[in-house]
Structure 1
Amino acid sequence: MRIGLFPSTEHSIDKGIDSVELLGDISAKTKAFTLEKGVTGNQQELSLDGALVLLRKLSLDSFSKTEYKNGNFCFGIHFVLEGNYNFTNPESKTKVNISSGSYNLVQWPELVGFEKLKGKEYVSVEVFFAKEFLEDLLGTEHDSTFENFVDTSVEKPKCLWSEGRAIPGKLRQLLLEILHCSYTGSAKTNFIESQIRCLVIEVFLGKDNGMQEMDGGAQLSVLDKETIEKVSLYIKQNLKRKLTIKELSEMAGFNTTKLKSCFKKVFHTTIFKYITQLRMEKARALILEENFTIAQASYEVGYSNPQHFTVAFKKTMGYLPSSLLSTPI
């Protein structure tokens, strides 16, 4: 039984295109897909026992719209690190929207619909699984928040939360390890599978998983939320510059107190930690994917002193940036 959303046959490379990379046995493999015109990057899926993982690191000229379908009822955890995700089911007129830096849990019935990806860069990790996979992994020890969600069958896509939750630091770190896995062959299969299991356990049982409502978060106006999203976008586009609370407050039209309060309600972290996390993530990608030296990467994310960068990287990521230099891609 195939689990999870997949594109229509004409988009799959299965027909005669030799770019399927086997990572282990037939029950655990990755499969690449041809990309639409104007879309570059990499999209792969990893099949596990009772689950399917979809990894995407894409660059889009405008947006990507593809017909996707699901043949069997399943659940999905969708993490969107960059870009915006939208799925529309024409029959039920149901939409699933997940914005940059957020995640949500979705019940997927049997259906056909259109998936639309937006953003210059689109990066996501999606985990589709059957109820048996979750029960085998957790037993009955999942948060009460999920009881009705897990036990309810639906006829149209249904999200656990009306709006996606900000991806906490611990989950983000696991996602980055999955996306930037440097191993090959069976080692890669086993590593990603173990990280996916840790990821699902953390989502359902972790204390820092964003399940609890942040105090006052629901009271933010739509305008305030949009303003904070603009601040977030500005930060991502200016990681090389020295960013100050005063500058960001002036850009948002908020005083510093309101900016810090609203930002934490939306992203569940402080502005300083958010900026640092993004800088370290970008530096890691530059070192691994662009072969930057530590000094070059530190400069590109706003550090003039590589030693200061190394200290910040170790504190944020949990290991030294030098450990990336000897790791094969």
Structure 2
Amino acid sequence: MLLRINLNSGKAKDDGLLLDNGIRIKNNAKRMIVPYQVIYEQTGQLLPPGIQGEAALKVGYGPLEGREWVMNLGGISINYRDWQLGAPLILETRHERPFLKMQFELEGHSQYTPRWQRGSKATTIEGGTHILMFHPAVYGKLFYPKSRRVLDIEFTVDYFKKLFQDDFSAMGAFGTAILDERPELIDDRSLPVTGRMKSIIQEILDCPFENHLKKLYVESKAIELLLLQLDQFSKCTQTKETFKLRNDDRDRLHQLKEMIEQNPNAQHSLKELAQLVGINEFKLKKGFKTLFGHTVFGYINQVRLEQAKQLLGDPRLNINEISYLTGYKYPQHFTNAFKKQYGYLPKDWRAIHADCHPL
């Protein structure tokens, strides 16, 4: 059942928007500030707390138009959001329950600023990255400067303890913080969403099962994402302990990452890439892997394959054309790389996803 939420029925005022419930929303040409629960409250809870089930809805509010899907499994809650924003949006949020969540910011940007530090920590998640966070309580503001797609997977603390059999030693300081009920992030920065993670997320959205089988399938995929996330952060921590980067080197590597994303089909050697951003080859190789969890050419390959997935949605393009457009000299190399990354041949991926759209 799709629910339509439209909160634009409030009475317009020069100093903002006055809703029927008396809450005033600050609004100007640059941003809108909204209490988070206002987006949903006119229809009640999407799913009552503690109730297992699945629901989808469309949201329409001020500069926000989008759609959401949520599934409560008992101990795990999964929420996929696809929000289109006509202007930057600030959401005021507050709740007292513990907040243990994986966040995969597939597109966009998310920034949380707490009003007080005792219950939560400031968190910034760039588009294309993910983080695991624990907040005993949440009270602050969420800032979204642009449209976003995100998958949130929230665990109850009891479920997490049962999953790890009360042994959080593998998570180091993060595990200790959960037991001590202190706010913590698994790392001081988010890491890139890998190709495998993206595939699992898409598998969740395209789940072929119904009822109890769907619950089992989605829950297993959520745990698989958690394992991949913990493994990636663990490897990154080990690398950081043996290799340090100066701030100017970090800036150069971020510049290179943006160049790759803007033109992944460009053909460059490692030496040429190093010269483009003014860094030596050793720092380029080690630093890029440390910062982004990929080798330089591994990341180039991932960006190309993501571009190929988008192009496969255009039936006017054949596989050879897509191979050429994504920078592969030989179609067979493209086919092999695609299958290795996603587990399907390009033609099979096209057939499976021809009519598949999340929600």
Match of 2:246 in 1: 221
Partner Cα distance (1:184, 1:41) in 2: 25
1:97 corresponds to 2:124: yes
8 Å contact from structure 1 (residues 168, 209) kept in 2: no
Match of 1:153 in 2: 181
Q: Which moved more, 1:162-171 or 1:261-270?
A: 162-171
Match of 2:39 in 1: 11
Partner Cα distance (2:195, 2:234) in 1: 9
Match of 1:82 in 2: 107
8 Å contact from structure 2 (residues 187, 233) kept in 1: no
8 Å contact from structure 1 (residues 88, 114) kept in 2: yes
Match of 1:31 in 2: 56
Match of 2:303 in 1: 278
Partner Cα distance (1:51, 1:267) in 2: 28
Structure 1 gaps, min length 5: 1-6
With over 3 angstroms needed to count, the CA separation of the structure-2 counterparts of 1:62 and 1:90, relative to structure 1, is same
8 Å contact from structure 2 (residues 98, 157) kept in 1: no
**Cα deviation per residue 1:127-173 (whole Å; 9 max; x = unaligned)?**
1111111123332454151430220213xx53232223444554454
Deviation at 1:208, TM superposition (A): 7.6
- 1:65-214 aligned at under 5 Å gives the runs 65-92=90-117, 94-118=121-145, 122-142=148-168, 143-145=170-172, 146-154=174-182, 157-167=183-193, 170-178=196-204, 181=206, 183=208, 186=211, 190-204=216-230, 206=231, 210=235, 212-214=237-239
**Cα deviation per residue 1:253-306 (whole Å; 9 max; x = unaligned)?**
113332222111112221111111122123224435x55653454344223643
1:238 corresponds to 2:238: no
SS in 2 for 1:219: coil
SS in 2 for 1:250: helix
1:260 corresponds to 2:315: no
Query: In structure 2, what residue type is equivalent to 1:137?
Result: L
Deviation at 1:216, TM superposition (A): 5.3
Deviation at 1:58, TM superposition (A): 4.3
Match of 2:29 in 1: none
With over 3 angstroms needed to count, the CA separation of the structure-2 counterparts of 1:285 and 1:318, relative to structure 1, is same
Partner Cα distance (2:318, 2:278) in 1: 38
Partner Cα distance (1:303, 1:61) in 2: 36
Of 40, 43, 48, the match for 2:73: 48
With over 3 angstroms needed to count, the CA separation of the structure-2 counterparts of 1:243 and 1:57, relative to structure 1, is farther
Partner Cα distance (1:275, 1:111) in 2: 37
Percent identity between the two aligned chains: 24
With over 3 angstroms needed to count, the CA separation of the structure-2 counterparts of 1:215 and 1:159, relative to structure 1, is closer
8 Å contact from structure 2 (residues 108, 148) kept in 1: yes
SS in 1 for 2:237: coil
8 Å contact from structure 1 (residues 228, 262) kept in 2: yes
SS in 1 for 2:103: strand
Query: In structure 2, what residue type is equivalent to 1:11?
Result: I
TM-score, structure 2 length as denominator?
0.72
Deviation at 1:103, TM superposition (A): 2.7
Query: In structure 1, what residue type is equivalent to 2:178?
Result: V
Partner Cα distance (1:126, 1:168) in 2: 16
With over 3 angstroms needed to count, the CA separation of the structure-2 counterparts of 1:108 and 1:215, relative to structure 1, is closer
Of structures 1 and 2, the larger Rg is shown by: 2
Query: In structure 2, what residue type is equivalent to 1:8?
Result: Y
Q: Which moved more, 1:268-277 or 1:313-322?
A: 313-322
Query: In structure 2, what residue type is equivalent to 1:315?
Result: K
With over 3 angstroms needed to count, the CA separation of the structure-2 counterparts of 1:214 and 1:144, relative to structure 1, is same
Structure 2 gaps, min length 5: 1-34
Query: In structure 2, what residue type is equivalent to 1:174?
Result: I
8 Å contact from structure 1 (residues 170, 208) kept in 2: no
Partner Cα distance (1:80, 1:210) in 2: 21
Higher relative contact order (CA 8 A, sep 6+): 1
Deviation at 1:213, TM superposition (A): 2.8
TM-score, structure 1 length as denominator?
0.78
Deviation at 1:243, TM superposition (A): 4.7
With over 3 angstroms needed to count, the CA separation of the structure-2 counterparts of 1:29 and 1:96, relative to structure 1, is same
Query: In structure 1, what residue type is equivalent to 2:226?
Result: V
